[in-house]
Amino acid sequence: MVPRQHHQPGFPPCVSLRIEFNQHANNYDTVEQWLADAEVDPWFSWVSEDERAKAIASDSVWICQWYPDTPIGFSGLAASSFDVLMAAVNEDQDAIG
């Protein structure tokens, strides 16, 4: 079976999408402790350096990972809030498509 791209309002067209909130809390880490490991070989980008700083200060990290066309090759963005994250995810898609 070949995956089919879905178009859901408010989300980028994709075959799969995952949103995570405060993954660092699962290991009792602070955002800074979690980033020390996560940014060694990052699979996501920050919306901006300002958003990275806000995430650390507020102990709030939202990450969206989506596979635009196939289950191979994905995009990942991080921000301090869901609204900022999704605005950037959809803006990124507008720039690509």
Contact 80, 51 (CB under 8 A): yes
pTM, 2 dp: 0.84
Q: How many domains does the chain have?
A: 1
Q: Any residues with CB less than 8 A from the CB of 21 and at least 6 apart, and which?
A: 60, 61, 62, 82
Task: Give a yes or no: residue 87 inside a domain.
Answer: yes
pLDDT value of residue 52: 96
Task: Give a yes or no: residue 3 inside a domain.
Answer: no
Task: Give a yes or no: residue 2 inside a domain.
Answer: no
Task: Give a yes or no: residue 21 inside a domain.
Answer: yes
Task: Give a yes or no: residue 61 inside a domain.
Answer: yes
Task: Give a yes or no: residue 20 inside a domain.
Answer: yes
Listed residue (51, 97, 56) closest to 75, CA to CA: 97
Quote the CA–CA distance of 81 and 83 in Å, as a whole number. Answer: 6
Task: Give a yes or no: residue 90 inside a domain.
Answer: yes
Task: Give a yes or no: residue 51 inside a domain.
Answer: yes
- Reading the chain (97 residues) residue by residue, the pLDDT tens digits are 677 787 887 888 888 899 999 999 999 999 999 999 888 888 999 999 999 999 999 999 999 999 888 778 899 999 999 999 999 998 865 544 4
Domain encompassing residue 72: 16-96
